[in-house]
């Protein structure tokens, strides 16, 4: 804007500082390669993905090996996989916007909402921005057959600053289970049960990555909105992995064996002890403990590993009790 030229020197310096804080995403050090699934290779952007929206707010860097997504007052940005998959292992290394990011949502997820408007499936990593000095929150969602009202959301803090460096976030989806990973640590496993029925995602999905304005709900239910004085908000994606069974989304039937290799790999890499430790130390909300939303817990909650022992740490709203958080912080 033209008025920027007339800003006082001190204010100009502040703006330059904010831009510098947001502009260093391309210099992030890549994390070590994942070893979770044998044969899962990284792909260049043009090999596996296509631009979805954002125009100039989506920049492909380093010979297609990194993608920078920017949110400003004009638009956010996003990309989607060229293929549609039924099961597989999908991963990206992500570096989130720093400084003030309230209302900002960065997402890496699977969905078929474009094909099934009212009965869509979805498996999400949603990164929810916060005010200055407060950490980003990471939420995982599992929706099947349009069951967004049932939710199945869990929310976590992280044992590192996700704005400092790239970290891997991965989803393994098979016929029998869904596993979420942060770097190489499993943080959540959803096992398919007969009682879940169609609520377990079972239709082919595309893979997406986006940054957008979630002011209405993302930070304390919309209390803090995106403040564009701190724009641009920049997220970087790298180490893009698409290792799944590509299918025709309109086909009536698909191979019954699709995803078997990934299932075998999952059984080999899931560490129940590591997952239990992460969940005890970092899960801040669980739908399985939210008695206000679910007076009768959903069927799979009784089967969730460690659910009974974790119950005393959570209040009736599903949020971790503050006392439990203070004990954790004091011991760290």
Read off the DSSP letter of residue 157: -
Of these residues, 126, 154, 236, 262, which one is catalytic?
Answer: 126
Cβ contact 174:191 at 8 Å? no
**What are the C-alpha distances in Å from 194 to residues 54, 88, 199, 262, 331?**
41, 21, 10, 21, 40
Q: Nearest CA to 201 among 87, 308, 76? A: 87
Instruction: Tell me if 187 sits within 8 A of 157, measured CB to CB.
Output: no
CB-based contact 207:85 (threshold 8 Å): yes
DSSP letter string, 265-309? HHHHH--HHHHHHHHHHHEEEEEEEETTT-SS--GGGGGSTTHHH
CA distances from 129 to 50, 147, 178 (A): 25, 25, 25
Residue 310 CA to chain centroid, in angstroms? 23
Q: Active site residue: 47, 117, 122, 264, which one?
A: 122
Asked whether the beta carbons of 27 and 21 are under 8 A apart, the reply is no
Count how many Cα atoms sit within 13 Å of the Cα of residue 205 in the half-sphere of its side chain: 32
Instruction: Quickly count helices (H) and strands (E) in the chain.
Output: 6, 16
Determine which helix (DSSP H) or strand (DSSP E) holds 234, and give its type and residue range.
strand 233-247
Q: Is 165 a catalytic residue?
A: no
C-beta atoms surrounding 132 within 10 Å: 11
DSSP reduced 3-state for 182: strand
CA distance 165 to 200: 33
H/E stretch holding 330 reads: helix 322-331
Clarify whether 122 is annotated catalytic: yes
Question: Is 25 in a helix, a strand, or coil?
Answer: helix
What residues act catalytically? 122, 126
């Amino acid at each position: 804007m033209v008025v920027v030229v007339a800003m006082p020197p001190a204010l100009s310096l502040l703006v330059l500082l904010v831009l510098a804080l947001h502009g260093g995403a391309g210099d992030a050090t890549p994390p070590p390669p994942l070893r979770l699934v044998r044969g899962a290779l990284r792909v260049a952007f043009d090999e596996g993905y296509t631009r979805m929206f954002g125009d100039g707010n989506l920049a492909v860097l380093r010979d297609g090996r990194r993608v920078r997504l920017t949110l400003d007052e004009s638009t956010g940005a996003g990309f989607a996989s060229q293929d549609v998959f039924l099961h597989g292992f999908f991963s990206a290394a992500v570096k989130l916007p720093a400084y003030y990011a309230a209302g900002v949502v960065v997402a890496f997820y699977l969905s078929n909402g474009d094909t099934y408007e009212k009965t869509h499936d979805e498996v999400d990593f949603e990164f929810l921005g916060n005010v200055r000095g407060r950490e980003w929150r990471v939420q995982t969602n599992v929706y099947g057959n349009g069951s967004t009202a049932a939710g199945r959301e869990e929310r976590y803090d992280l044992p590192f600053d996700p704005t400092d460096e790239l970290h891997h976030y991965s989803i393994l989806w098979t016929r029998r289970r869904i596993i979420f990973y942060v770097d190489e640590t499993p943080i959540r496993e959803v096992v398919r049960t007969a009682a879940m029925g169609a609520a377990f995602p079972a239709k082919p999905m595309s893979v997406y990555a986006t940054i957008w304005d979630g002011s209405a709900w993302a930070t304390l239910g919309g209390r803090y909105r995106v403040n564009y004085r701190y724009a641009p908000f920049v997220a970087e994606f790298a180490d893009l992995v698409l290792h799944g069974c590509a299918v025709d989304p309109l086909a009536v039937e698909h191979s019954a064996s699709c995803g078997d290799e990934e299932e075998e790999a999952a059984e080999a890499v899931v560490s129940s002890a590591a997952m239990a430790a992460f969940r005890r130390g970092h899960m801040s909300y669980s739908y399985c403990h939210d008695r206000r939303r679910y007076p009768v817990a959903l069927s799979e909650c009784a089967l969730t590993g460690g659910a009974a022992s974790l119950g005393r740490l959570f209040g009736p709203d599903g949020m971790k009790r503050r006392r439990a958080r203070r004990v954790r912080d004091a011991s760290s």
